[in-house]
Amino acid sequence: MSTKAVIFDMDGVLIDTEPIWEEVRREYIGEMDGRWLADTQDRFMGMSTSEWSIYTSEDLLDGRRTPEQVAEDVISRMAARYADHLPLMPDAAETVRRFAGQFTLGLASSSPRRLIDVVLDHMGVADLFRTTVSTEEVERGKPAPDGYLAAAAGLGIPPGQCVAIEDSSNGLRAAYAAGMTVIAVPHPRYPPAPDALALASYIADGGLRSVTPELAASLEPVSEFR
């Protein structure tokens, strides 16, 4: 089976927002007299909105804010930060446009819908994606495959004919569990765990510049060998 579609992650792949998410959440939890645990940032990465808001409310704030309040508080702060500055990853928009010329494109992100739309509109690439999925719109966030499976379904293309481009441990696990061939673009500040990185068919240590349509087309579908 040849590659028919490419599905992008957003945070850490197209936009360098993982540091902003960490900063905003740390600041918010500190203001609420909560606690930031040693594994909190790792746990956050890949969680859907409902998952991280419940985790924050129950485990970090001891119920001082409801999950709904936490989600609204944090997403509003993130939207304000995006309005002030949107830190795109190097070559992000150019990479999307290159791939759009050869493949059907989808996006599977842990960000809420509100922020996905802001980012893609700002990049000027919203119309290049046939489908976009927020994990708040599916049952489970990453590392569960739900978001990637929903994106493939939205494209009408089997997961085994999709290549996913991911940066985080949970994102790599999610795309692989969905049956997709995975390209890893590790974030220098938040490198994936070795076991998650081992799931990738290609590791782009040089960032998006080395991730080309020709590369995606050359990768063997891993689902055929599982």
For residue 226, pLDDT over 60 is answered with no
pLDDT (tens digit, 9 = 90+) per residue, 175-201?
Answer: 999 999 999 999 888 899 999 999 999
∠ CA 137-132-45, nearest 5°, is 65
pLDDT (tens digit, 9 = 90+) per residue, 24-69?
Answer: 999 999 999 999 999 999 899 888 899 999 999 999 999 999 999 9
Q: Could you tell me where the DSSP H helices lie in 32-168?
A: 40-44, 49-55, 67-84, 92-100, 113-123, 146-155
Q: Which of 214, 148, 172 is nearest to 7 (CA)?
A: 148
Q: Which residues are catalytic?
A: 9, 11
For the chain, first and last CA: distance in Å? 14
5-16+87-225 topology per CATH: Rossmann fold (3.40.50)
